[in-house]
Structure 1
């Protein structure tokens, strides 16, 4: 049940951020934002939140999330919208930076709930 709650929190945060940036800022349709959110959420939750975060620091996991967000938004954005690669890279960079800020804060929740792969609570060493 804790994973469901965490995924809902992450999904709502990611959808809100991507909607503001991609839809309102760059005119990308809501359905495409939703698809990007679902793919990004699945990849980054497993890789960043459950695998990297428990083994490293919050900052390392946040940087991994930043990279994953950039790649997913950039590649899916190109595939779904046909937007020029350079323009989509700019959109993806903005999205990745804002989502990384949210992920940094979200990681404290993950650590507090002890949801990671090796179940180590590292909140005190997560700067």
Structure 2
């Protein structure tokens, strides 16, 4: 992991993006309990932060990290909702993932610009 990244700030900003989207789309519009959407949001937040934002993003760039986040988000949300008993949750999962990935693209741009330092050979 990159020592130049302020992980506290980065996770707080990501949580301000992920949790409200999950709460609004899943709980408010689709009847998923607030507790279940919060658990799924936190799992997704941590998994996507450490895999997509800290591992894939600096090595492969924004497009790859966003696609990786899309796949991971769909697996976590759809799988998690099914585990919680919401068997008809594919549509809700896809809608949530699309909104999150739009935000992830801009979050990644912010991370690259402010949190990662470019090395002499052009790598992050």
Structure-1-length-normalised TM-score = 0.84
Q: Within 5 Å, which residues of 2 pair with 1:1-127?
A: 2-80=6-84, 82-84=85-87, 87-115=88-116, 120=118
Distance 1:102 1:29 in 2: 23
For structure 2, which runs of at least 5 residues remain unmatched after alignment? 120-124
Moved over 6 A (4+): none
Q: What is the RMSD of the two structures over their aligned residues, measured on CA atoms?
A: 1.5
State the Cα deviation string for residues 45-64 of structure 1 (Å, max 9, x = none): 01100000001121111011
Pairwise CA distance, 1:103? 0.3
Pairwise CA distance, 1:89? 1.6
Structure-2-length-normalised TM-score = 0.86
Aligned length: 115
Pairwise CA distance, 1:2? 1.3
The structure whose residues are more often helix, as a share, is 1
For structure 1, which runs of at least 5 residues remain unmatched after alignment? 122-127
Pairwise CA distance, 1:66? 0.6
Question: Is the CA contact (8 Å cut-off) linking 2:19 and 2:38 kept in structure 1?
Answer: yes
